[in-house]
Homo-oligomer: A and B are copies of this chain.
Amino acid sequence: MALTPSPLAYVPFVSVANMMKLVHHVGIETFLLELTDAMEADFRRWESFDKTPRLAAHSEEGVIELMPTSDGEFYGFKYVNGHPKNIKEGLQTVTAFGLLASVGTGYPILLSEMTVLTALRTAAMSALAARHLAPEGAACMAMIGNGAQAEFQALAMKAVCGIDTVRLYDIDRAATDKVLRNLDGLDLNLVACDTAQEAMEGAQIVTTCTADKQFATILTDNMVGAGVHLNAVGGDCPGKTELHRDILMRSDIFVEYPEQTRIEGEIQQLDPDHPVTELWQVITGAKPGRTGPGQVTLFDSVGFAIEDFTALCYVRDRLEGTDLYEKLDLLADPDEPRDLFGMLLRAAP
């Protein structure tokens, strides 16, 4: 007795291999669209979540973060790192995994890889903001920075906002070529550009996603025309920004969670009381989003725990009826809860 773990001891685990199978099982664009819709639903009930800035451990090389949240019924958190130098050593800049648990019992109910899932949810988040902020009929996006996020961003804007053209620029042409290869045959017009300025020509949506941990200026004010929706994804920790301050000054700025964005986002360059609008309030209709065709809107995206929570819940729901998970012997579950030591004794060889 008690030599094999009880069913309560097992936590469903989604490996990277199974996450990729799940994405193909659902379809990449359908996955992105459904995830965007799920995120919109959770943003509508924003006030029902416990919110706290992420807990970050900074080092010279990068940052390791824990991002927890809860809606009172479920608790979720993500472990995620950001190490820009990793790429030079053949490692991912960002890796992540996450967990869902029951608030009522504290028992974990899902452990999942979140490197692939974070890429998907970050793109879905951008698409959700663009759905509410981009100019009507936006058909062309510029993608500045053609790293690991680029294809996900492009496909999410296609699936959710209906864009048909992506203009690509990266300081490393090999990165752009990678995107050209990967998106070939996915029903998008792809235009490789030699400068960021060229990439932005005719684009109604401009997404920046570069990885340097330093105050960078990927875009300057003269490059941004009227009516554009800017989606700044790469500036996401102290000291890491992409846009010139002048762009911020003439944009209407939308954020996920101001307490976190003021520390980590593009707006760390601005006064701490510079007006910003919380995106959830645009989605519920409490605050205006885009108010005219000439307005420059900026979504200062840093990534918030609720988005990961949504993604984990979406994966949990989508796993049902599949065998795309393993069962992990993560929790000790003795026959008699107080008899943990007895369980250990009985496991003696």
Contact = CB atoms under 8 A, between A and B. Distances in A.
A87 interface: yes
Contact of A16 (B16, B103, B178, B330): B330
A303 to B, nearest CB: 15
A248 interface: no
Contact of A5 (B17, B75, B79, B336): B17
A97 B116 CA distance: 23
Interface in A26-66: 28, 50, 52, 55, 57, 59, 61-64, 66
Interface stretch (A7-15, A188-196, A197-205, A234-242): A7-15
Contacts of A334: 92, 148
A81 interface: yes
Contact of A108 (B97, B99, B343): B97
B181 A342 contact: yes
A265 interface: no
B336 A178 contact: yes
Contacts of A225: none
A270 interface: no
A151 interface: yes
Total copies of this chain within the assembly: 2
A165 B8 CA distance: 36
Interface residues of A, number: 83
Q: At the interface, is chain A mostly helix, strand, loop or mixed?
A: mixed
B64 A95 contact: no
B330 A15 contact: yes
B13 A328 contact: yes
Interface string A106-131: 11100001011001000000000000
Contacts of A286: none
A160 B20 CA distance: 49
Contacts of A93: 337
A82 B115 CA distance: 29
Contacts of A108: 79, 95, 97
Contacts of A278: none
Contact of A57 (B21, B75, B116, B152): B75
A103 B57 CA distance: 9
Interface in A57-108: 57, 59, 61-64, 66, 68, 70, 72, 75, 77, 79, 81-83, 86-87, 89-93, 95, 97, 99, 101, 103-108
A23 interface: yes
Given A21-B349, A87-B337, A97-B331, 18 more contacts: A5-B16, A5-B17, A13-B328, A21-B347, A24-B347, A57-B68, A57-B103, A59-B70, A77-B79, A82-B106, A91-B105, A92-B337, A95-B107, A115-B331, A148-B338, A148-B340, A181-B342, A182-B342
5 contacts: A24-B348, A28-B344, A61-B104, A79-B99, A82-B106
